[in-house]
């Protein structure tokens, strides 16, 4: 922490905005890093992104839905996430339309033209009010932009880049990704397309994802600073194997990070739906030492996995049609017939049933679709959306029972009464045509130590190898995940692995590793100066 610039106790809070020359240049991760650095230095910090577009969402403690990146940033700040940190969330449903989520609850589905022309004025008021509430509570607010501030066709009604910076009195740091190539052109070109007052608001640059000898880059850095009159605040090297969740499906991990022997790794095939949502449910599997996780989009790549996992989907009907059009549905059913393990989460769980019914066209134009038929259940889509945090237990698990290849004794079954927690985000209501076994007993917890009456959730086959649940984050429960993997290992004749991976502890350590990495390569005294005085300089 610097003694020269005082930023604590200032009301309204000081602000700093991270914008980028393009999408996916690392704005979210750098915002997370700066948040964590300021927290390490003793400040009360909160993140803010006025409008986010993402299918990877996060449920706040009060059961509201925001962008996953802002939830992660709040975690890095050590505070509870609120909808003020991301008041507007856009969740694409088709190539032309998105569900508009306002302060954590669905407002309506709108196409881009209608949203821009009918709602942005109201949205602008909503985001300013949210930011003002945060500024009354914290020392510093770190804002994140979206895409690029130089998108000329969007600037006149912008609520997420330079107009937001103006409303927030925020100095701006511009981030560019050198891994894409053309980093100097992207920075200078972005500045050239800004208005003079917007250009003045930019206080410096960060060049992100660098690989190699920075000395070879120095002539370009000198030229950039002479050309623009603005400092390069840091050249941040690529950080290897960062175990923090991505928000954009373009950034989905494609290979496991854990070390282990090939002959004792469980092969996990995750179906990568075109409209995959909440794919961070899979993240803990990448960190386990006995798993090999891969995404599958074609029958040719299906192979012979130990486990098939159907993740969440923003459009269950369309992604179920994707399975049928590609033939992956038949591969999944054959995998089950051969005694393979199969799990569905949220949309993937809905697909395991007999029917998907959408009489009001909530998700698609298909009023009826046949599911995979593995559970006697049907799902009806309705306008009401459930977003809740849940707590409870995994109950009554066992493996091998009633199966021809039963080689497992009762003493090696999956333990009962394993504590779990997670969250639900879905619009479908699932009912059972016949009774089934339920793998979870859960309730809602709105205050510490206070839970509602527990109820049964999800479905499970009699041999325990096929199960589905609405609970996102189920695999983030360390004991549940390890016992499940050990049950599969036992079925293969492998010894169970002892000890638990503390995934939340790993995540906390990764926040610190990220912060230490960025602090090492960024001029933090200058960043503090910008936070403390950037609004006045050149505004």
Tell me, yes or no, if 77 is annotated catalytic: no
Residue at token pair 């508009």: 100
Question: Is residue 311 within 8 Å of 368, Cβ to Cβ?
Answer: no
Sequence-distant contacts of 335-340: CB under 8 A, at least 24 apart: 335/302, 335/305, 335/308, 336/374, 336/465, 336/466, 339/403, 339/405, 339/465, 340/305, 340/306, 340/307, 340/308, 340/465
Rounded distance between C-alpha atoms, residue 242 and residue 244, angstroms: 6
Q: Is the peptide bond before 12 cis (omega within 30 degrees of 0)?
A: yes
Structure tokens, 133:
């509430």
Can you tell me which residue has the tokens 């407002």? 107
The answer to whether residues 293 and 311 touch, using CB atoms and an 8 Å cutoff, is no
Task: For residue 201, give Cα distances in angstroms to 77, 146, 164.
Answer: 25, 16, 12
Task: Pull the structure tokens for residue 162.
Answer: 């330079």
Provide the 3-class DSSP secondary structure of residue 491: helix
Choosing from 346, 426, 438, 476, which is the catalytic residue? 346
Any bridge partners for residue 207, and if so which?
A: 176, 235
C-alpha 366/C-alpha 343 separation (Å) is: 24
- Is residue 346 part of the annotated active site? The answer reads yes
Q: Name the H helices within 431-471.
A: none
Catalytic one among 103, 335, 438, 472?
Answer: 472
Structure tokens at 434: 């016949």
Residue with tokens 């990146």: 69
DSSP-derived pairing of the beta strands 266-271 and 455-457? unpaired
Annotated catalytic sites, by residue? Answer: 346, 472
């Amino acid at each position: 922490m610097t003694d020269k610039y005082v930023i604590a106790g200032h009301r309204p809070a000081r602000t700093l905005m991270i914008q980028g020359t393009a999408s996916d240049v690392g704005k979210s991760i750098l915002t997370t890093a700066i948040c964590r650095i300021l927290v390490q230095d003793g400040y009360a910090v909160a993140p803010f992104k006025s409008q986010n577009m993402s299918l990877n969402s996060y449920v706040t403690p009060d059961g509201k839905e925001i962008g996953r990146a802002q939830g992660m940033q709040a975690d890095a700040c050590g505070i509870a996430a609120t909808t003020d940190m991301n008041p507007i969330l856009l969740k694409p449903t088709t190539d032309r339309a998105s569900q508009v989520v306002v302060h954590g609850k669905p407002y309506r589905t709108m196409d881009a033209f209608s949203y821009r022309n009918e709602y942005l004025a109201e949205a602008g008021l909503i985001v300013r009010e949210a930011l003002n509430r945060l500024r009354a509570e914290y020392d510093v607010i770190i804002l994140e932009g979206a895409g690029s501030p130089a998108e000329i066709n969007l600037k006149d009604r912008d609520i997420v880049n330079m107009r937001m910076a103006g409303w927030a009195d925020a100095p701006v740091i511009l981030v560019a990704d050198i891994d894409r190539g053309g980093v100097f052109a992207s920075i200078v070109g972005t500045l050239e397309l800004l208005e003079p007052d917007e250009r003045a608001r930019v206080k410096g640059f960060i060049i992100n994802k660098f690989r190699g000898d920075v000395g070879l880059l120095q002539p370009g850095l000198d030229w950039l600073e002479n050309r623009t009159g603005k400092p390069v605040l840091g050249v941040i090297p690529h950080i290897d194997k960062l175990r923090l969740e991505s928000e954009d499906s373009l950034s989905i991990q494609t290979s496991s990070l854990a070390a282990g022997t090939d002959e004792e790794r469980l092969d996990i095939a995750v179906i990568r739906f075109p409209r995959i949502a909440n794919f961070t449910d899979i993240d803990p599997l990448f960190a386990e030492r006995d798993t090999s996780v891969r995404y599958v989009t074609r029958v040719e790549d299906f192979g012979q996995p130990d486990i098939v996992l159907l993740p969440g989907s923003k459009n269950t009907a369309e992604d179920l049609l994707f399975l049928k059009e590609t033939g992956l549905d038949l591969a999944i059913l054959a995998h089950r017939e051969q005694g393979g393990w199969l799990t569905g989460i949220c949309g993937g769980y809905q697909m395991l049933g007999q029917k998907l019914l959408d009489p009001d066209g909530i998700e698609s134009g298909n009023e009826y679709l046949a599911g995979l038929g593995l559970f006697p259940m049907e799902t009806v889509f309705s306008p009401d959306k459930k977003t809740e945090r849940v707590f409870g237990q995994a109950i009554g698990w066992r493996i091998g029972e009633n199966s021809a290849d039963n080689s497992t004794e009762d003493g090696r079954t999956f333990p009962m009464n394993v504590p779990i927690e997670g969250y639900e985000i879905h619009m479908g209501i699932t009912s059972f045509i016949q009774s089934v076994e339920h793998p979870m007993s859960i309730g809602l917890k709105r205050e510490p130590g206070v839970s509602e009456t527990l109820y049964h959730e999800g479905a499970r086959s009699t041999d325990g190898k096929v199960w589905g649940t609405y609970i996102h984050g189920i695999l983030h429960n360390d004991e549940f995940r390890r016992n499940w993997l050990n049950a599969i290992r036992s079925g293969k004749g492998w010894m169970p692995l002892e000890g638990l991976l503390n995934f939340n502890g790993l995540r906390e350590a990764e926040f610190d590793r990220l912060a230490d990495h960025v602090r090492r390569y960024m001029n933090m005294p200058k960043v503090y100066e910008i936070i403390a005085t950037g609004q006045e300089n050149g505004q």
